[in-house]
Chains A and B, each alone.
Chain A
Amino acid sequence: MTPPISTPSINWLAISPEIALAAAGVVMVMLRSVLRRRPITMPLCVVVAISGVVAAGAVEYRLWQVVDHHRAISTVAGMVRVDLFGIFLGVVVLGATLMTLLLSVAYLRREGLDAPEYLALVLLSAAGMLAMTTANDLIVVFLALEVLSIPLYVLAAFDRRRLSSQEAGIKYFVLGAFSSAIFLYGVALTYGATGTTSLTGIASFLAHNTLLDQGTLLAGIAFLLVGLGFKVAAVPFHMWTPDVYQGAPTPITAFMSAATKAAGFAALLRVFGVAFPLYRADWRPAVFALAVLSLVVGSVAAVVQTDVKRMLAYSSIAHAGYILIGFQTATSRGREAALLYLFVYSFMTVGAFAVLTVATRRGDDRHSLDDYRGLALERPIVGGLLIFFVLAQAGIPFTGGFIAKLEVFSAAAQAHQYVLLVIGVLAAVVTAYFYLRIAYTVLTPGEETSSAKPLETPRRVDVWSGLVLVACAALVLVVGVVPGVFVHWARDATFLL
């Protein structure tokens, strides 16, 4: 006699965004295998991809209405929890995904990589990221981590002609798989210590029981932190970042730096905020160290780089340090600052990499600082946008970057984390130096004798990439000028439970 298997009830609306993205990805792969290399295949797939993202966005809006009026939706036996926190970061992920898709259309044509699989992989990865933002169980976090990572390994190696792209793919793969294994070991140890993998289950177990042996749980928490630290590229788990960001196709670099980071921080904030709030005395010092190291290494190492993509990779490490400051405070004010920073950072970094995508020529391999000399003189709009995005990342007033940094610093001050505050301000000064160096290079004329005159053929920027550039710049500007509404959204999104 076997008892009937009872399946958990599923609120389909709550998981529709993931379904929309995954379905669009599958449809594209099917279209590709049915239509093969007909000229219609690629445009059709672009339409499917964009409608998939738009559909997911529409569902997120509907979910936002539901959650805002009622309360968080907990479904699939409590493994998925849709709350304002998840929706906020889900919107960031979807925005970055849409920008990446629009940016990729012209990029793929220019590079001769017309392949619908590329778009399908982007959508599947985004589906994993969305699952990550609403995951309420360590196993769901792990599965989402893998669903988002595995397509990214392929995407990083997608440019078959460029050896650096394949190198980026294999490096990302080896270190990504390593970090996933570490994360999973953390899940196993936490399961062993508490008997459950549900985040709320762990929290209530720890609230009602005293552990005789703290070691297993503390080791589990450490492994979880290390595994997620790899994904958000926090020092000392950042070794892969510069290589992978430099080697991957530039739109994919934009996608990784914005969306992957948002998903990684979604998991960090949720796992540590929901499951281990009682152990914050144990994990806060570790996060403190990660934040300080990320700020110091990210800003100092960026100064000595000569490749713009590597510079931006190190700057993304420094940005991760700022977000970690917000996370380290373990207050709702700090979470609000971290969320706002992630929102602004995503569009600043996508904008910067979008400029790199349209500024370089076919081949996507000339990104040294010298290649950008005089860009603003030859192509004032493109160069001007690059200056705008790097200055926004430096935190110039009236841009979103300034508001984001200000929020992080005031959250740190409120939590009496003055050491972090001082290091953050110092790092901002150091990073401002190399952002200004990029801006200066773009503004100085190149030498006529230089054989490398790589940007010699100013082309018109295609309409979709132009749209991405304008949208990113507008968002960064709007957050800087009228921050109130965005701060308000981020504040609403901080209540995890």
Chain B
Amino acid sequence: MIAAFTITPSFYLILAAILFSIGAVGLLVRRNVIVMFMCVELMLNAVNLTFVSFAKALNDVGGQVLVFFTLVVAAAEVAVGLGIIVAIFRRRRDATADDLRTLEG
């Protein structure tokens, strides 16, 4: 039998920490710029989950409000980031970080 247990906020916090780590490691090891970009989004959403879990644990609505700020910022970043990626795509048919080697030294 599976023992009954209650899901506490720390479960969500640990999940968020795992998601954040996946995002951070992914950003460092993946070479495709679009995938790196998705990893940043994963990190930001892990932070959102952390905020909401803490807000629930602390019984404070403030943390949930902060999530909206994060969402807005993430949306603005997506717009700018994709714009830069499209600009690079126009010049070359590829978007991997390894190709971006004009600047090296």
Q: How far is the CB of A236 from chain B (nearest CB, A)?
A: 13
Contacts of A157 in B (CB 8 A): 84, 87
Instruction: Please state if A184 and B44 are interface contacts (CB–CB under 8 Å).
Output: yes
A177→B13 CA distance, assembly (Å): 22
Instruction: Please state if A188 and B51 are interface contacts (CB–CB under 8 Å).
Output: yes
Instruction: Please state if A185 and B88 are interface contacts (CB–CB under 8 Å).
Output: no
Q: Which of B1-56 contact A (CB under 8 A)?
A: 13, 20, 23-24, 27, 33, 36-37, 40, 43-44, 46-47, 50-51, 53-54
A169→B27 CA distance, assembly (Å): 17
Instruction: Please state if B47 and A188 are interface contacts (CB–CB under 8 Å).
Output: yes
Residue of B nearest to A145 (CB): B73
Provided the pairs A153-B80, A191-B66, A197-B62 are in contact, do residues A163 and B54 lie with their beta carbons within 8 angstroms? no
- Contact for B81 among A163, A173, A181, CB less than 8 A: A173
A242 sits at the interface (CB 8 A): yes
Number of A-B contacts (CB under 8 A): 115
Q: How far is the CB of B89 from chain A (nearest CB, A)?
A: 10
Give the interface residue-count category, chain A.
35 or more
Residue of A nearest to B87 (CB): A166
Instruction: Please state if A146 and B37 are interface contacts (CB–CB under 8 Å).
Output: no
Contacts of A168 in B (CB 8 A): 103
- Contact for A150 among B23, B77, B100, CB less than 8 A: B77
Instruction: Please state if A170 and B50 are interface contacts (CB–CB under 8 Å).
Output: no
A55 sits at the interface (CB 8 A): no
A208 sits at the interface (CB 8 A): no
Instruction: Please state if B20 and A154 are interface contacts (CB–CB under 8 Å).
Output: no
Contacts of A306 in B (CB 8 A): 105
Contacts of B100 in A (CB 8 A): 167, 170-171
Instruction: Please state if A174 and B51 are interface contacts (CB–CB under 8 Å).
Output: no
Provided the pairs A157-B87, A174-B37, A181-B23 are in contact, do residues A191 and B103 lie with their beta carbons within 8 angstroms? no
A143 sits at the interface (CB 8 A): yes
- Contact for A197 among B43, B66, B91, B105, CB less than 8 A: B66
A168→B63 CA distance, assembly (Å): 35
Provided the pairs A139-B69, A163-B91 are in contact, do residues A181 and B47 lie with their beta carbons within 8 angstroms? yes
Interface residues of A, dominant DSSP: helix
Provided the pairs A178-B27, A181-B23 are in contact, do residues A146 and B77 lie with their beta carbons within 8 angstroms? yes
Q: How far is the CB of A6 from chain B (nearest CB, A)?
A: 14
Q: How far is the CB of A322 from chain B (nearest CB, A)?
A: 24
Q: Which of A147-183 contact B (CB under 8 A)?
A: 150, 153-154, 157, 160, 163-164, 166-171, 173-174, 177-178, 180-182
A160→B37 CA distance, assembly (Å): 21
Contacts of A184 in B (CB 8 A): 44, 47, 70
Fill in one digit per residue for B60-97: 1 if any A CB lies within 8 Å of its CB, else 0: 10110010011001001100110111011001000001
Q: How far is the CB of A89 from chain B (nearest CB, A)?
A: 23
Residue of A nearest to B60 (CB): A195
A43 sits at the interface (CB 8 A): no
Instruction: Please state if B33 and A185 are interface contacts (CB–CB under 8 Å).
Output: no
A378 sits at the interface (CB 8 A): no
Provided the pairs A139-B69, A150-B76, A181-B23 are in contact, do residues A310 and B84 lie with their beta carbons within 8 angstroms? no
A189 sits at the interface (CB 8 A): yes
- Contact for A174 among B33, B46, B87, CB less than 8 A: B33
Contacts of B47 in A (CB 8 A): 181, 184-185, 187-188
Instruction: Please state if B81 and A177 are interface contacts (CB–CB under 8 Å).
Output: yes
Residue of B nearest to A178 (CB): B27
A247 sits at the interface (CB 8 A): yes
Residue of A nearest to B78 (CB): A177
Instruction: Please state if A192 and B58 are interface contacts (CB–CB under 8 Å).
Output: yes
Instruction: Please state if B103 and A247 are interface contacts (CB–CB under 8 Å).
Output: yes
Instruction: Please state if A181 and B40 are interface contacts (CB–CB under 8 Å).
Output: yes
A166→B81 CA distance, assembly (Å): 11
Contacts of A188 in B (CB 8 A): 47, 50-51, 54, 63, 66
A407 sits at the interface (CB 8 A): no
Residue among B43, B47, B50, B54 with the most chain A CB within 10 A? B47
Contacts of B97 in A (CB 8 A): 174
Contacts of A307 in B (CB 8 A): 105
Fill in one digit per residue for A22-56: 1 if any B CB lies within 8 Å of its CB, else 0: 00000000000000000000000000000000000
